[in-house]
Amino acid sequence: MTSENSEVTSKTSEPKEASVEQIRQSINGIDEQILELLGKRREASVSIAQTKEKNKSALRDRQREEDLLLYRIEKGKSLGLDSHFVTRIFHEVIDDSVRLQRQYFQTQANATDVGRVVKRVAFQGIEGAYGYLAAQQHFAREGDNVSYLGCSNYQAVLEAVEKGKADFGILPIENTASGGINEVYDLLLHTQLSLVGEETCKVDLCLIGQKGASKESLKTLFCHPDMVMQCSKFLSDIDVSLEYFSDAALASKRLKESKDPAVGAITSKETARLFDLDVLQENVGNQKESYTRFLIVARKPLTINRQVPSKTSLVFSTAQEPGALVRALHIFEDRGINLSKLESRPILENPWEEMFYLDLEGNPEQEHVQDALDELTRVSRFIKILGSYPTERVAPTSVKPENLAQSGADAKSGEKSLAAKESKTNKPPLPKKAKGYKLASREYKNEDTIIRVKGAVLGGDNFTVIAGPCSVESEEQIFECARVAKECGATILRGGCFKPRTSPYSFQGLGWDGLDIMAEAGKMYDLPIVTEVLAPDDVERAAEKADIIQIGARNMQNFTLLSEVGKTRRPIMLKRGMSASIDDLLHASEYILSQGNQQVFFCERGIRTFETATRNTLDLSAVPVLKQMSHLPVIVDPSHAAGTRWLVPPLSFASRAIGAHGIMIEFHPEPEKALSDGPQSLYPEQLKELMRDLMG
């Protein structure tokens, strides 16, 4: 064979590169395997539910779920999958398994109800109304065959069930934007029906119109009164007249029939699609994420399996005397029963007297719940159990930050830190006298304040790590920081959108655009976000996106700003001023607390002294002093105190050792390119190493 022939043979024997179509076929095969495995997992879920029922064991084993989730995170990392991605997948899988097992338990507990081929459900409005969509969502998930009956109003829904025209009715009870629906609360007091379920439906309000119409051409809007409240900010900016309808779907139907391009409506995308109308603008609600909670009613009460997480709703009234309501609520506290809802409504026949609607976690099949209800009956003027039903929400299992920080690495042995050893029996003595502050003092409130923000906890025996860049510089940067922070076990994402800089020529932040980007990053990785606000006029707008509002060192005594954040419902991180005493800091917190916001925590970030070896002098003694004088949580910012990254780890260890409730760390994907405070920002690998050592 000639060398030329050898060359030809060599070329023709090279493997061909796979085509796009071949790769897609391979992906399809993998997806089919995933579906087959999910089907098998569902079968296993039913089998384990049968075993649990026989053994009378709990529906969920939280510790086992956490251990398995941590194992799967570690396994995922070895396969190149990040922890957040793995967690999201298994949250969905566990959610499906729990719902399936719960459905099995309930079917067994209510076996006499099985056999009806079609369940008839009454709702207010016409097809496409939110009540209709919520009913579909609820009963379709349970695998039921359902027919739907539209009713003119809420009273008609109840009457349809009471008279046997429907097996179930669905009624909205509250919305996250507009609050409780008073008419439904009042109707529940007088009906003999029982609550047997709940459903939460996302409300994605849109402006809709005729095909080809525009927002600018509209002169009239068809609306439901509740949706006018939920879209008040949007409606205040457009010049239109409003025409009210009993439900959004009916408004959409009339809009379709009118064929008038000058008429629009406020409704959902699903309703617009149902009536073949155009969406002219999405997300017109005051809250970008708004939800309506619905209750399901039936003629017979539901038997709740003791193994199923459940709620009980009731209504009661107390004697008109000091402390009557407090004594009633203490009944549940004494028995460790959580209350998820408390709403008051006037008693129409008794002016200035109130009836209280209450949701508690548990059901009368459980002895401690029944004991509480018996005691409440003894102290109440009136009580009515509206019903017990399975809790709709399946709370996701989470891995503790310290375990997540250790995943993929050997756990470090050694003594636990002083903060971890601290217990309630070893608290410092109360101060003898609170000076010019009251609400922040131990004298006013002895027990520690604990602040909870989307799963993150500040205060008590918890040690929380807040991490992120000094400034939000770009979408790519903050998303990468959020990913790394989540991966390391940090539970809150920090980032400056508005930067108070010493020099007017320094980078001042991306402003509102930066806050939008940061909010998306926090949402993507399930991290609450904290950012600084500089001006009183910006507080309300910032609070729409930021989960925690920071008052920086330079604004610690900006009393107008302090009073304004005191009117919000967001937690406030109050940084100590560069030259402020502890007494000054406590007085500053009082400005916030006195306006009603009780969710305040301190941040020690170093003070200005004669020492020049570090950027500031970190006053670690402030931590135990503040914990002695105040019930509010205290964290430490070692990054701003140090001014250089090599000092951040030892100051972090010292902060935890002295009893701080947490730390705030600055890090950056590329500190040398940071637009602010690069020298004190850790590299991602340094943050990972610090978290492994700190949380070990």
List the catalytic residues: 292, 294
User: Which residues on neighbouring strands pair with residue 316, listed in sequence order?
Assistant: 356, 383
> Tokens representing 527?
């991290």
- Does the CA dihedral 264-268-273-275 come out positive or negative? negative
Give residue for tokens 């190493």.
689
Pairing of strands 290-298, 168-175: antiparallel
Pairing of strands 310-318, 380-390: antiparallel
Going from the C-alpha of 264 to that of each of 156, 178, 215, 281, 686, the distances in angstroms are 28, 22, 8, 11, 55
Give per-residue burial for 385-404: e unless 16+ CB within 10 Å, then b: bbbbbbbbebebbbbebbbb
Reference 674, options 468, 517, 536; nearest CA is 468
CB-count exposure of residue 11 (10 Å: 0-12, 13-18, 19+): exposed
Q: Residue 39: how many CA atoms within 13 Å on its side-chain side?
A: 6
Give per-residue burial for 253-276: e unless 16+ CB within 10 Å, then b: bebbeeeeeebbbbbbeebbebbe
Pairing of strands 241-244, 572-575: unpaired
Distance from the Cα of residue 181 to its chain's centroid: 22
Distance from the Cα of residue 529 to its chain's centroid: 12
H or E element: which one contains 238? Answer: none
Pairing of strands 354-361, 310-318: antiparallel
Reference 451, options 361, 309, 573, 345; nearest CA is 573
Q: 463 near 420, Cβ under 8 Å?
A: yes
